[in-house]
Amino acid sequence: MLRYANPKRFLDLSATLLPFLWVLAIALLGWGLYEAIFVVPPDYQQGDSVRIMYVHVPSAWMGSFIYGFMFIASVVGLVWKHPLADAAAKEAAPIGACFTAACLITGSLWGKPMWGTYWIWDARLTSMLVLLFLYLGYIGIWSAIEDRAKAARAAAILCVVGVINIPIIRFSVEWWDTLHQGPSVVRFENGKLSPSIDPSMLWPLLAAGLGCTFLFFALLFVRMRTEIARRRIRTLMSARAAA
């Protein structure tokens, strides 16, 4: 992994990978959402509103996944002090915040017809909201500290502290109150992992989830390339100003 941490190598590699990532993201999301909107039968209780699930659940996955990604990038940045890892964590944060917000908004829209309310202070909703605050704090600290290297280390420390705290928050809000259903896409049954929804609904959901993952990496690579270019321009301009 460190071999590709060289910005030049990263630029080459990401330029090669980006078209594939875009194609995969668009194809998977396109197929998944087409199935979700036109093919999957309406739920016997929830009717057509169940289709929100195909946006809501992948967004929730991505919200947590991206924070995990940022954690790994932050640890790499703290240990090896590599600017590319810092850039990866920094550029992932707004995408993660958007997915988390999308999860909250779609969940709220889904909650109104199903639970009869847009928002309740339920365990999963609350922990997702706290996750959004963690993202915002992370973005906030990047923009508050001017010196890039210092901002990177401060943000990395914050991210690591947040990861330690997430399970505690998760556990404590669950103990506190819960209405949201438990994890129900896959369950342990008779000692093995088995899907608990019909394949006709499982595949579009997985495709949407995978599509979101590819979308994340595509967006991340574009953002990181922009960041590298921005840094280069700044160096060039300060060199010119000094000359």
Binding site for other proteins (CB under 8 A): 126, 130, 133-134, 136-137, 140-141, 144-145, 150, 153-154, 157-158, 160-162, 164-165, 168-169, 171-173, 175-176
Q: Return left, alpha or beta for 170; rule: phi > 0 is left, psi -120 to 50 is alpha, else beta.
A: alpha
| Nearest-approach distance from CB 71 to other proteins, in angstroms | 14
Give, for 18, the enclosing helix (H) or strand (E): helix 7-34
| Nearest-approach distance from CB 154 to other proteins, in angstroms | 5
| Nearest-approach distance from CB 110 to other proteins, in angstroms | 24
Beta strands in the chain (DSSP E): 186-189, 192-195
| Nearest-approach distance from CB 149 to other proteins, in angstroms | 9
CB closer to other proteins out of 145 and 202? 145
Residue indicated by tokens 């000359």: 243
CB closer to other proteins out of 37 and 144? 144
CB closer to other proteins out of 156 and 208? 156
CB closer to other proteins out of 156 and 205? 156
| Nearest-approach distance from CB 179 to other proteins, in angstroms | 16
* The dihedral sign for the CA sequence 41, 45, 49, 51: negative
C-alpha span between 92 and 88 (Å, rounded): 6
Long-range contacts from 191-197, C-beta under 8 angstroms, 24+ separation: none
C-alpha span between 38 and 201 (Å, rounded): 12
CB closer to other proteins out of 152 and 220? 152
